[in-house]
Amino acid sequence: MATKKIAGIDVNVNEEGFLTNPAEWTKEIAVELAKEEGIELTDAHWKVIDFCRSAAAANGAAPTLRAITNGSGVSTKELFGLFPKGPAKKVAKISGLGKPEGCV
């Protein structure tokens, strides 16, 4: 595990740059992480991020695409527009959550 300075704060990250402690996340960090992915955050992005943060707080894991679309009311197509190429993983990263995983 390594630490990285994002938006002026030292946070713990894994090899792929995902925050390992969701509690270290701030909105400023989200803005920086989004920039790394080439995304400028708009209200539409924040709606998804806010949903993912609260879903993860309740369930202990980043939500799946289905959970995001059902819970936030944003369609899968729109999600791919907002977070191109793999929204579930990108949203998880920007929201300071672990990436969606399998068992191995």
The residues assigned a catalytic role are 103
Q: What track of x and - describes contact with another protein for positions 32 through 51 (by CB under 8 A)? A: --------------------
Select 38 or 102, whichever has its Cβ closest to another protein.
Answer: 102
Q: Is there binding between residue 77 and another protein (CB under 8 A)? A: yes
Phi, psi (deg, nearest 5) at residue 14: -90, -175
Nearer to another protein, 47 or 99 (CB): 99
Region binding another protein by CB under 8 A among candidate stretches 4-12, 25-33, 41-49, 72-80: 72-80
| Cα separation, 65 vs 16, whole angstroms | 20
60 binds another protein (CB under 8 A): yes
Helix (H, G, I), strand (E, B) or coil at 42: coil
- Interface size with another protein, residues (CB under 8 A): 23
Question: Which residues touch 7 (CB under 8 Å, ≥6 apart)?
Answer: 26, 28, 29, 31, 32
The smaller minimum CB distance to another protein, of residues 5 and 77, is found at: 77
Q: Which of 3, 12, 21, 64 binds another protein (CB under 8 A)?
A: 64
Cβ partners under 8 Å of residue 71, min gap 6: 51, 55, 63
Q: How far apart are CA 95 and CA 89, in angstroms?
A: 10
